[in-house]
Amino acid sequence: MQSKLKKNKWPLIFTGTNMILFFLFFFLPAILGFYYSLTDYKGYSTANFIGFENYTELFQDPSFYKAMLRTFRYAITLVPIVYVSSLAIALLLNSNYAKGKVLGKIIIFLPWTISGIIAGVIWKWLFGEHFGFINYIISVAGGEAVPWFTNANAAFAVIIMAAVWGGTAFNMLQFSNALKNIPASLYEAAEMDGANSSQKFWNITLPAIKPTSFMVILLASIGSMKEFALVQSLTDGGPGTDNVFIVQYIYQTGFEKMRVGYASAASMVLFAILLILGLIQMKIGGNKGE
């Protein structure tokens, strides 16, 4: 018995540590958040229990639905672009004809090491309407400055570009590792059968990296639904409220309007949406795997 405990000591320690951290930093805050969602807590006063009044008000708030629709629009736009760009770069860097692969991966990976706040500042400097580098180039070329942050669609486009810039690197590495694990014999056999590059991609590469594709889409979907730092530092949800996503809505409600209980209710709804989204994607991924 003692020998078994000694043998399993380190796995138990690591597993137990993870469980403790999960309990302290996820489970307890989630329980506390749900409790606050049932109160009128304002962050500084006594939390009075009001039942599901916050949820009732939330589901009658047009601003909540608008923020959710903007968030879904952002996710639906961003995820396919990140997927395609990540896979394309991974294919390019894993090609036999590519040179400087290590340097290329380092350069592409650098944006991922930059925090969302800093990334937002960088892109704000690039696209600033009066001081931005992009508008300077446009004016030098004889064009008119583009109102990047006073036009809702232009601001949304800048957010997408910045998010793709920061989100491609990690997914590119995921795809790169998956591509390396595809047996070369499959491609050799396909070449002997007369398959061209397109046929090899659709019939060998894409099916072989299906688990990685699923993981990239799942994580990118959840990440885009929780986007905050980049948008907050880049546009602050502007112009006006045209690019206020759901997490900005929660932040503004909880910390600017000091309605912590109401913001907690919105957080619980977002959590439920992400949970359902994850379960649906896992179900779809499981069915495809079968």
What are the tens digits of pLDDT across the range 221-253? 999 999 999 999 998 888 888 999 999 999 999
Distance CA 225, CA 239 (A): 20
30 vs 3: which has the higher pLDDT? 30
Structural domain contains residue 241: yes
Structural domain contains residue 78: yes
Structural domain contains residue 193: yes
Structural domain contains residue 36: no
Structural domain contains residue 14: no
Range of the domain at 241: 46-286
Minimum mean pLDDT range among 29-43, 236-250, 272-286:
272-286
Q: What is the pLDDT of residue 41?
A: 87
What confidence tens digit (pLDDT) does each residue in 65-116 have? 999 999 999 999 999 999 999 999 988 888 777 677 777 777 788 888 888 8
What confidence tens digit (pLDDT) does each residue in 169-225 have? 889 989 988 998 888 888 888 888 888 888 888 988 899 999 899 889 988 999 999
Structural domain contains residue 253: yes
Structural domain contains residue 134: yes
How many structural domains are present in the chain?
A: 1
CATH number, domain with residue 144: 1.10.3720.10
Q: What is the pLDDT of residue 68?
A: 94
